[in-house]
């Protein structure tokens, strides 16, 4: 049950340090604190809720002054204090009183917030059914909250993110696309892709320009070419938010290579996974997975597979591509010898030039904690933090690129209700200053 502020605070106008800590204590439900939804009517019935005043009270026959913090704390100082809090604490602080709500929504506060309050990415975990509700994990507070992504029916949607923006696409038709800030719930429906065709495989990616806050959305489609069983048509659609325009600069046919379901934008390049459907003379038989790159700046695409293919560093069953500070990181499931549908471990690699450099391998103690993996899993990350999750379990593992540290997230409240229930997730950076 959510707390009532009048039960937490000793007086409406006087907030001591102990009361503030109690106020910031995380609660189990995100929905109890919708972003800054504090109505003015909630405060009109409370006289002098934000006015300056000094009251004289008597405690143990001693005369003491009780001063409202709002009467002595300038707005710019309050902004700095709030700006150094985690996002979840900022949102809850906006529910204390009208003044704190106004300050936390002011233009100057929003402008400085990304600098004063750098955030670690949250992880949104959901079950693959028709319910868009799930749980979100804050690694700074080490807490899970109930959470809901707007306008999404999870079973039929692909979800990707870049910084504080999340993009979802209807996987069945690929005609419905939305970009939203999941914290503020601001959402924008993108124009329909011209002449969009239903594809056999589809990979969605989004990239936010930090300076202009414009974003790019790409869709890599792959479908079997007519006539030849082992040939695959490959197309790339590119959307630019500044021009509000879709383009299709690539539409080619690849022999024996089909596109996969994973892609990412790093800098000015789009990287996407491809899969070898039959043996090729110049490709080692163990390297069924690889990565291709498309230059978004020059709009160039190398058709020579000998030159442009980045094969997997070892036999893998799954490749997840992640942008970590504009460097391409790959999380891959390492095949168990003789059992290609089962993985014996998970590795993390960083692309250096055209070679994969191994960063770390998941320790066996952590790998056994997931139970038996099949050939695929979920993984995403941002700002040196990588999340890895088995589709068959709500267990969540984190890896720090800087310290090479593996650790479990706190246990999620999600419960596996049936053996066939599937979990998935995506990470995003909580931002109050972004709007699509």
pTM for the whole structure: 0.79
Q: Which two tokens stand for residue 79?
A: 């902004």
**352-374 per-position pLDDT tens digit:** 998 999 999 999 989 887 765 66
Q: Which two tokens stand for residue 367?
A: 């790998």
d(CA 417, CA 192) in angstroms, rounded, equals 37
Q: Are 248 and 221 in contact (CB under 8 A)?
A: no
**16-42 per-position pLDDT tens digit:** 333 222 233 344 444 444 443 333 333
Antiparallel, parallel or unpaired: β 310-311 and 289-295? antiparallel
Q: What is the mean pLDDT of the chain?
A: 78
User: What pLDDT, on a 0 to 100 scale, did the predictor assign at position 382?
Assistant: 93
User: What pLDDT, on a 0 to 100 scale, did the predictor assign at position 307?
Assistant: 77
Sites in the chain below the pLDDT cut of 50: 1-61
How is the chain split into domains, by residue range? 5-116, 122-428
User: What pLDDT, on a 0 to 100 scale, did the predictor assign at position 129?
Assistant: 66
Strand partners, 29: 146
d(CA 119, CA 32) in angstroms, rounded, equals 22
Pick the CATH number of 122-428 from 3.40.1740.10, 2.120.10.80, 3.40.50.300, 2.60.40.2240: 2.120.10.80
User: What pLDDT, on a 0 to 100 scale, did the predictor assign at position 405?
Assistant: 96
């Amino acid at each position: 049950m959510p707390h009532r502020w009048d039960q937490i605070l000793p007086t409406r106008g006087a907030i001591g340090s102990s009361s503030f800590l109690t106020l910031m204590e995380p609660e189990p439900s995100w929905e109890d604190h919708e972003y800054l939804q504090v109505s003015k009517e909630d405060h009109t019935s409370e006289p002098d809720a934000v006015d300056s005043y000094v009251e004289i009270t008597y405690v143990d026959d001693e005369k003491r002054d009780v001063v409202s913090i709002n009467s002595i704390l300038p707005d710019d100082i309050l902004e700095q204090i709030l700006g150094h809090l985690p996002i979840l604490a900022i949102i809850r602080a906006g529910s204390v009183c009208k003044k704190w709500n106004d300050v936390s929504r002011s233009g100057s506060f929003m402008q400085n917030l990304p600098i004063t309050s750098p955030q670690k990415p949250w992880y949104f975990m959901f079950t693959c059914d028709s319910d868009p509700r799930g749980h979100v994990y804050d690694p700074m507070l080490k807490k899970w909250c109930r959470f809901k992504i707007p306008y999404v029916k999870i079973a039929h949607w692909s979800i990707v993110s870049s910084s504080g923006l999340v993009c979802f696409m209807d996987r069945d038709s690929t005609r419905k696309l939305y970009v939203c800030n999941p914290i503020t719930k601001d959402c924008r429906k993108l124009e329909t892709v011209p002449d969009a065709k239903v594809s056999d495989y589809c990979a969605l990616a989004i990239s936010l320009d930090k300076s202009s806050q414009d974003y790019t959305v790409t869709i890599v489609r792959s479908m079997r070419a007519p006539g030849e069983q082992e040939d695959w048509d490959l197309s790339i659609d590119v959307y630019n938010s500044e021009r509000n325009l879709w383009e299709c600069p690539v539409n080619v046919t690849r022999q024996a290579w089909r596109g996969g379901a994973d892609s990412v934008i790093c800098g000015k390049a789009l990287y996407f996974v491809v899969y070898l459907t039959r043996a090729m003379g110049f490709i080692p038989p163990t390297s069924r997975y690889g990565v291709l790159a498309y230059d978004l700046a020059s709009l160039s695409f190398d058709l020579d597979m000998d030159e442009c293919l980045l094969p997997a560093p070892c036999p893998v069953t799954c490749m997840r591509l992640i942008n970590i500070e504009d460097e391409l990181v790959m999380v891959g499931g390492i095949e168990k010898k003789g059992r290609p549908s089962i993985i014996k471990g998970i590795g993390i690699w960083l692309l250096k030039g055209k070679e994969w450099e191994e960063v770390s391998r998941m320790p066996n103690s952590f790998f056994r904690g997931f139970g038996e993996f099949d050939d695929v899993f979920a993984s995403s990350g941002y700002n040196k933090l990588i999340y890895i999750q088995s589709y068959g379990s709500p267990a969540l593992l984190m890896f720090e690129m800087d310290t090479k540290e593996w650790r479990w997230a706190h246990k999620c409240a999600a419960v596996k209700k049936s053996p066939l229930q599937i979990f998935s997730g995506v990470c995003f950076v909580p931002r109050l200053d972004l709007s699509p």
